Structure 1
Amino acid sequence: MSRPILIVDLEATCWRDKHTAPADKEVIEIGCALVASDGKVLDDFSTFVKPLLHTNLTSFCTELTTITQSDVDTAPGYPEACQLVDEWLGQRVRGLVWGSWGNYDRYQLLEEKSRHCAAPAFLGVPHINLKRLWARSQGIPPRGMTRALAYAGIQPEGTHHRGIDDVRNIAKLLPGISRQLINHAVASWAPYPEPGKRT
């Protein structure tokens, strides 16, 4: 049996008319799912995160994610949230591979590591870009998660832009990704450069 993949999806502070880089955003939810190669979710976990710089969520952010001000006001700070993820994952992080739909999530985690001097343990294991690998497996250009689900004839569940729901939906696309491409991506993985030093 193939090793499960940890799928991660972050939600972050956002503004309707403001294009922001990861350095300007703050994580407000970490969604995780351990997923078998057939797309079955073996275990999942989510935690809200209290932002440090922009403590008040915009109405646009709440409309987009359904995450409310009270959700983040009562949430742990980022370092504590990382500890919760680590406690949930435990020893399963050893030899693990984690993936996200695109590279935004890993860039955001690197920014948060720089800001808080904290990171979940899985940031130290190989990352794969599931969006790119799925597109290559299908022989089509990369596309967003909802369009990928529609292409695959899969009905999404839950609320889009909620981390825990997005990881469960991404899991449904995992069977459509070539295991050979996943193995090649893992073999070519290298430790991440620090923010501001990406090539």
Structure 2
Amino acid sequence: MILSRHISCLGYCSLYIITEKGVKDVLKKRLKNYYKKQKLMQKEPANGDSYYDYICIVDFEATCEEGNPPEFIHEIIEFPVVLLNTHTLEIEDTFQQYVKPEINPKLSEFCVGLTGITQDIVDKADTFPQVLQNVVDWMRQRELGTKYSYCMLTDGSWDMSKFLNIQCRVSRIKHPSFAKKWINIRKSYGNFYKVPRNQTKLMIMLEKLGMSYDGRPHSGLDDSKNIARIAIRMLQDGCQLRVNEKMHAGQLMTVSSSAPLEGAPAPQMPRYRN
């Protein structure tokens, strides 16, 4: 039976068609948190419980081959950043640059088809150290880590723990200090809406929140914008997004919700490895 419900109390003025139990569970959780947040808002200003002034959403695209052989070395070929203002709940700015791979400079047909990034694009791009320096400069211009508190956010663990970690080794630079801790939105979403891990992929999260993907899948910038839309909806629903993963001594670790809260440091270009 198809159940239609107009969620007017949420203020979204949308018609939601609930076709499966998972969607109903998320909507029930959202309604419960809406009323809880309404009570809190009588005591605190809107969004006053945000942990950070800004959240930087990152979703790398990297070199790949069909089947991804275990010996294949992934190199970042697109570095996007979406700057989310947690007080206005709006995307305030974006950064995007493509990156020239060094170990496997020729992209596979599979990679081009998946990401839409062509050989000509990466051939004309800067190498990773220069692009990372541009990211650092962009973040500094927005006074992140100095005037404003912020943290990084990714869709899963791989962007920071695998792709960035591998890329820094390839480029012979240390892991950037501002990217050593981040919010894994899949964990946050699963914990907040009480859904299993297999229900936390990007397309599924969007669907269960009543949204459809906007843009080209596997475009790093478009993926980042869609992840930001999920983060905005979660903040609207009363979720307190906070760091839940980190890199320590080259290993991925979970950050407990009881750990002291701290934002990312002011961005700096990491030193080169010896």
- Displacement of 1:20: 4.4
- The letter of the residue matching 1:80 is Q
- Displacement of 1:192: 2.6
Residue 79 of structure 1 aligns to a residue in which SS? Answer: helix
Residue from 75, 82, 88 that aligns with 1:33: 82
- Displacement of 1:120: 4.9
Q: Which residue of 2 aligns with 1:176?
A: 234
The yes-or-no answer on 1:66 pairing with 2:113 is: no
The yes-or-no answer on 1:156 pairing with 2:208 is: no
In structure 2, the CA distance between the partners of 1:151 and 1:19, relative to structure 1 (3 Å rule), is farther
Check conservation: 1:93, 1:121, Cα contact below 8 A.
no
Unmatched 5+ stretches in structure 2: 1-47, 254-274
- Displacement of 1:9: 0.6
- Displacement of 1:133: 0.5
Q: For residues 68-112 of structure 1, what are the alpha-carbon distances to aligned partners after superposition, in whole Å with 9 as ceiling and x for unaligned?
A: 001100000010010111111113144321010000001121222
Residue from 115, 120, 123 that aligns with 2:170: 115
Counterpart-to-counterpart distance in 1, 2:94 and 2:136: 12
> Could you say what the CA RMSD is over the residues aligned between the two structures, in angstroms?
2.2
In structure 2, the CA distance between the partners of 1:39 and 1:68, relative to structure 1 (3 Å rule), is farther
Counterpart-to-counterpart distance in 2, 1:164 and 1:34: 11
- List, as ranges, runs of 4+ consecutive aligned residues in structure 1 with deviation greater than 6 Å: none
* Structure 1 segment 73-88 matched on structure 2, within 5 A: 73-88=123-138
Over the matched positions of the two proteins, sequence identity in percent amounts to 28
Q: Which has the higher helix share?
A: 1
Q: Which residue of 2 aligns with 1:24?
A: 73
The yes-or-no answer on 1:50 pairing with 2:100 is: yes
Q: Which residue of 2 aligns with 1:106?
A: 160
Q: Which residue of 1 aligns with 2:35?
A: none
Residue from 196, 201, 221 that aligns with 1:144: 201
Q: Which residue of 1 aligns with 2:151?
A: 97
In structure 2, the CA distance between the partners of 1:20 and 1:5, relative to structure 1 (3 Å rule), is farther
Check conservation: 2:55, 2:151, Cα contact below 8 A.
yes
Q: Which residue of 1 aligns with 2:63?
A: 13
In structure 2, the CA distance between the partners of 1:17 and 1:131, relative to structure 1 (3 Å rule), is same
In structure 2, the CA distance between the partners of 1:156 and 1:47, relative to structure 1 (3 Å rule), is same
Deviates more, 1:109-118 or 1:99-108: 109-118
- Displacement of 1:114: 2.1
In structure 2, the CA distance between the partners of 1:16 and 1:190, relative to structure 1 (3 Å rule), is closer
- The letter of the residue matching 2:144 is R
Counterpart-to-counterpart distance in 2, 1:70 and 1:164: 19
- TM-score, length of structure 1 as denominator length: 0.86
In structure 2, the CA distance between the partners of 1:158 and 1:39, relative to structure 1 (3 Å rule), is farther
Check conservation: 1:39, 1:172, Cα contact below 8 A.
no
Check conservation: 1:11, 1:27, Cα contact below 8 A.
yes
Larger Rg: 2
Residue 113 of structure 1 aligns to a residue in which SS? Answer: helix
Counterpart-to-counterpart distance in 1, 2:202 and 2:57: 13
Unmatched 5+ stretches in structure 1: none
